[in-house]
Amino acid sequence: MKFAWSNVDRLEEADIVIIGVPDESGSHSSRKGASKAPDRIRQVCGERDVFAREGIKTLAMPELSTMNKRIFDFGNVKKSEVADLVKQIVSNDKIPITIGGDHSITAKVVNATAEVINDVSIVYFDAHPDFICSTKAYHGSVFCDISESINVSRTVQIGIRAPEPEEIANLKRMNITVLTPLNVLEIGLKNSADLVIKKMSKNVYISLDMDCLDPAFAPGVSSPVPAGLSSNELIYLLKSVVSNRIIGMDLMEVCPDHDVNDSTSHLAARIIAELISSIKVKKQIPLL
């Protein structure tokens, strides 16, 4: 099963490449099942965002816009294979969107991207800073595992509300800019987006752990934390950042076995569609 908005059949034709990595070997969460997310997200968007009338199928478009990008769903790959694939995609000026799986996959993708592109800044959406350095190569150590590959001074974390003491110390030590959900509420969405945009370098990578959202909007995640962002707040911030063009994105930690009526998987698919619709590519096409 392919991502519903996939519309080309070859990697060479694509602007955007969807990659599934059904792996949770780097997770320490008590909730299991994140490896099921790539296929479930594809399945749910195929069921809920595709309409059929009199034998003709149509797609639900992103918000008042068309999907004028060439999108190729590469299918699923092993975690050990994703770095080489990402380097190939980025080297050919295409944008990878990786669907996990647990958040440790992000380190593989970002480090591979940084081998091709310099001065990478990260906009990192998460309930947790993932800045544990005393343990490496798991979903809570992502920032330590990528710190030498990115421009730390041009990095922002958004949605943080459940840091461990070690993570607070590391955030302060590295002087990472953090916007909590209450910060976003206090200064407002537009000011939050403007702050992030001013902070970014020209090469922006977005990493999204779905637990940045409040569990009211995304119950099916590996490590839910109350008092998070709303779905519209997240989509507004994402679309604002993406309008400046990105070099890659990932969406991690959907846990279908703990979802409610597949609402989190459907929201994940909608987030990806909204993000793609806002990406600037060199030549847009009237495909859909």
Who contacts 216 (Cβ-Cβ below 8 Å, separation ≥6)? none
Please state the pTM of the whole predicted model: 0.95
Distance separating alpha carbons of residues 229 and 213, to the nearest angstrom: 5
| Cβ contact 65:275 at 8 Å | no
Determine the pLDDT at residue 153: 94
Length of the chain: 288
SS3 string, the chain, reads CCCCCCCCCCHHHCCEEEEEECCCCCCCCCCCCHHHHHHHHHHHHHHHCEEEECCEEEECCCCCCCCCCCEEEEEECCHHHHHHHHHHHHHCCCEEEEEECCCCHHHHHHHHHHCCCCCEEEEEECCCCCCCCCCCCCCCCHHHHHCCCCCHHHCEEECCCCCCHHHHHHHHHHCCEEECHHHHHHHCHHHHHHHHHHHCCCEEEEEEEHHHECCCCCCCECCCCCCCECHHHHHHHHHHHHCCCCCEEEEECECHHHCCCCHHHHHHHHHHHHHHHHCCCCCCCCCC
Cross-strand pairs, 76? 20
Domain limits, the chain:
11-278
Residue 282 pLDDT exceeds 70 = no
Q: What is the mean pLDDT of the chain?
A: 95
Q: Which CATH code of 3.90.79.10, 2.40.40.20, 3.40.800.10, 2.40.100.10 fits the domain covering 11-278?
A: 3.40.800.10
- pLDDT range class, residue 288, cuts 50, 70, 90: very low
Which residues have C-beta within 8 Å of that of residue 179, sequence separation ≥ 6? 156, 157, 158, 159, 160, 192, 195, 196
**Of 162, 157, 135, 177, which Cα lies nearest the Cα of 221?**
162
Neighbours of 7 (CB within 10 A): 21
Provide the pLDDT for residue 44.
98
pLDDT band at 238 (very low <50, low <70, confident <90, very high): very high
Give the residue among 156, 149, 202 at the shortest CA–CA distance from 178.
156
Where on the phi/psi map is residue 157: left (φ > 0), alpha (ψ -120 to 50), or beta? Answer: beta
Q: What is the pLDDT of residues 250-278, one digit of tens each?
A: 999 999 999 999 999 999 999 999 999 99
Enter the tokens of residue 272. Answer: 């990806």
Of the two residues 63 and 6, the one the predictor is more confident about is 6
Cα–Cα distances (Å) from 217 to 27, 169, 232, 234, in that order, read 22, 30, 10, 11
Band (pLDDT 50/70/90 cuts) for residue 57 is confident
Cis? peptide before 26, omega within 30° of 0: no
